[in-house]
Structure 1
Amino acid sequence: MLLSVNIQEAGYSRQFPTLKNLRFSVSPGELVGLIGPNGAGKSTTVKSIMGIIHHFKGDIDVNEYAYIPERPIFYAQLTLWEHIDFLFSTLATTDETAFFQKAHELLDLFNLSAAAHSYPERFSKGMQQKMMLVLAFLKQAKLYLVDEPFMGLDPKAVKKLLLKLEEEKEAGAGILMSTHVLDTAEKICDRFILISGGKLIVQGTLNDIRKLSHLKNGSLLDCFDALTEDY
């Protein structure tokens, strides 16, 4: 097990917790979709796993992970390549030649090679998000926490991201992907965790969710609507 989550309650204040009684896990070689509408508690869940939420009760057992944030995070005074250099300095056991070869491959994949020595504060939102992808995949982690990854990406970049996630999954990585883009999640996720209003609605495969929603051939969106009509 790469990730085991048992959240009794979590949020930005003790008086008004965002999440209650949320339990799930992620195993090697699977992509689990954490899905729900805006404000459902998806980002709060990810922050709880990372240990950066203000109020938390429960237990988190998490492997070493790479994080792809919803909003790009970077140092304004460093170029893209200097971010890559800095990342390498934090990974003491990484083979230098292999690391920087991988860096060039990822920059080429996401069309950032020409911007390698530029400052990310001058990038478009899409370029900044692709920079986050490069840095995350450079860690070659066993677990990836991916928070609303499609924001700001054009269709070609989305396709490249999905192919890269599949590649990492096939190599044995576990992936928890938070998203409200249900049509894409339906196509790529092995299992789903549906939350609404900070509560777990249901978890399982698409077939499991169809059975619970009594929609034999329903889309993930249809099932989600049926299961959350009282929330």
Structure 2
Amino acid sequence: MVLHVEIKEAGYSLESPVLKDIKFSIHPGELVGIIGPNGAGKSTTIKSIIGIINHVKGDIDISNYAYIPERPILYERLTVWEHIDFLLSTLDVDEKQFNAKAEELLKLFNLPQVAHQYPDSFSKGMQQKVMLVLAFLKQPDLYIIDEPFMGLDPKAIKRLLQLIGAEKVKGAGILMSTHVLDTAEKICDRFVLISDGKLITQGTFEEIRESSGLDQGSLLDCFDILTERDPHVW
């Protein structure tokens, strides 16, 4: 298991918890999609998992991970390659192999021409590609990806999905928050559906269909049904 989450309560203050009773796990080689309406608590769940929410009651067991936030976080005074060098300095890996992998990833996302430029002037999509390069260079046991498709062009999305597939084969787990349900339906092994800060249901696509009562429904159809129901019935 690369991630086990049992959040009894979590939030930005003790008096007003945002999350209650969130429990799920991710196994090696498994892609789990965390889905829910805007404001449901998906990002708060992710922030609780990686330890940047102060008020969390419960237990979280997490492996070595790479985090790709919805909004890229990069150093203004470091070029793209200097970000790569900085990451290298934190890892116990072969420098030659690491740099070769970095060049391969930069080429994959069409970034070699900006490798020695500062990313603060890049578009959001280009900054997101830099974040992806850094994450996949780290080669962690677990990837935590928040809205990965925002700002990416179709080719970059295809490359990202190829990388995710390759990492799954190697045994990495992936937790991915997304609103792009048609893509999630095709690539996720299981889903965690959160609404109003609570776990509504979780399981495979077929189990989500069963929970919603829509035997042939799309993930979007099931999502609509499950998030409209009274949360107290769960």
Match of 1:98 in 2: 97
In structure 2, C-alpha distance between the alignment counterparts of 1:39 and 1:80, rounded to whole Å: 33
1:73: how far off? 0.4
In structure 1, C-alpha distance between the alignment counterparts of 2:150 and 2:121, rounded to whole Å: 18
In structure 2, C-alpha distance between the alignment counterparts of 1:184 and 1:90, rounded to whole Å: 34
1:45: how far off? 0.7
> How high is the TM-score relative to the length of structure 1?
0.98
- Counterparts of 1:53-132 in structure 2, within 5 Å, are 53-91=53-91, 93-132=92-131
1:15: how far off? 1.4
- Counterparts of 1:171-182 in structure 2, within 5 Å, are 171-182=170-181
In structure 2, C-alpha distance between the alignment counterparts of 1:162 and 1:49, rounded to whole Å: 23
Residue by residue, what CA displacement relative to the aligned partner does 1:77-129 show, whole Å, maximum 9, x if unpaired? Answer: 000000000000011x2111110000000000000100000000011111000
Where does structure 1 lack aligned partners over 5 or more consecutive residues? none
- Counterparts of 1:1-231 in structure 2, within 5 Å, are 1-91=1-91, 93-230=92-229
In structure 2, C-alpha distance between the alignment counterparts of 1:60 and 1:19, rounded to whole Å: 14
Cα RMSD (Å): 0.8
Superposed structure 1 runs of 4+ greater than 6 Å apart: none
Residue by residue, what CA displacement relative to the aligned partner does 1:22-78 show, whole Å, maximum 9, x if unpaired? Answer: 000000011000011211111111111111102111000000001111100011000
In structure 2, C-alpha distance between the alignment counterparts of 1:14 and 1:221, rounded to whole Å: 34
Where does structure 2 lack aligned partners over 5 or more consecutive residues? none
Return the letter of the residue paired with 1:221: L
SS of the residue 2:202 aligns to: strand
Moved more, 193-202 or 9-18: 9-18
Among the aligned pairs, what percent are the same residue? 70
